[in-house]
Every structure is written in C-alpha cells, then in structure tokens.
Amino acid sequence: MPEIGRIVKVLRGKDEGDFAIIIGIVDDRFVLIADGDKRRFDQPKKKNAMHLLMQPVVSHEVTDSMRETGRVTNAKLRFAIQKYVQGKGE
C-alpha cells in the first residue's frame, strides 16, 4: 500500500529501474514521487501506483519532515535513496 516516505522502484516509463520516494498521494491510484535529483521535491512526478514496485522500507526522516513542515529537502531524498541502495547492495 502506498504511503508517504516509502521507497519505490519505477517499473514503467523513462525512469524505469530508478528508485524514488513517495512524497504525496493523489488518490487510490496515483502518487507523487521524487528522487531529489532528476525529480526534485517542487516538481514531483505523478505516477500510477501499479507502475511502482513498493520496497519494504519507509524512510522515517522523510516521513517526519513531511509531517512537521509539509516538505522535505532534496538532499534528504537523495540521502534516503542512497542509504537504501547501498544497504541492498545494488
């Protein structure tokens, strides 16, 4: 189930194979994703949730920042993705 702060792998589109983080939920079908690099927080990508592979990790730094201020820095998004990818060994 999509939730803010969850790390996802893009399965379709030109970003296929990249990791991103859910920063918003539009409705039960679409979410907003950003990676802090190509897709910044202020210009997130609207993506069909069925085109995303939900990873078993939720970034608590991103979740807490979104809850407290309603936004998150691009550096924090990049750091969370980098930490996950290095821990996974890809």
Q: So what's the pLDDT on residue 63? A: 95
CA distance 57 to 54: 8
> CA torsion sign, 11 to 35 to 60 to 88?
positive
For residue 14, tell me if it sits in a domain.
yes
For residue 75, tell me if it sits in a domain.
yes
For residue 1, tell me if it sits in a domain.
no
Q: How confident is the model at residue 1 (pLDDT cuts 50, 70, 90)?
A: confident
Neighbour-count burial for 5-40, b at 16+ CB within 10 Å, e otherwise: bbbbebeeeebeebbbbbbeeeeeeebbbbbbeebe
Structural domain of 45 = 6-88
Q: pTM of the full predicted structure?
A: 0.94
Kindly list the distances between the CA atom of residue 26 and the CA atoms of 23, 32, 67, in Å, as whole numbers in the listed order: 10, 7, 16
Domain count, the chain: 1
Q: So what's the pLDDT on residue 87? A: 87
CATH of the domain at 63: 2.30.30.140
Q: So what's the pLDDT on residue 89? A: 63
Contact 20, 35 (CB under 8 A): yes
Q: Express each pLDDT in 12-63 by its tens digit.
A: 999 999 999 999 999 999 999 999 999 999 999 999 999 999 999 999 999 9
Q: So what's the pLDDT on residue 90? A: 59
CA distance 14 to 26: 21
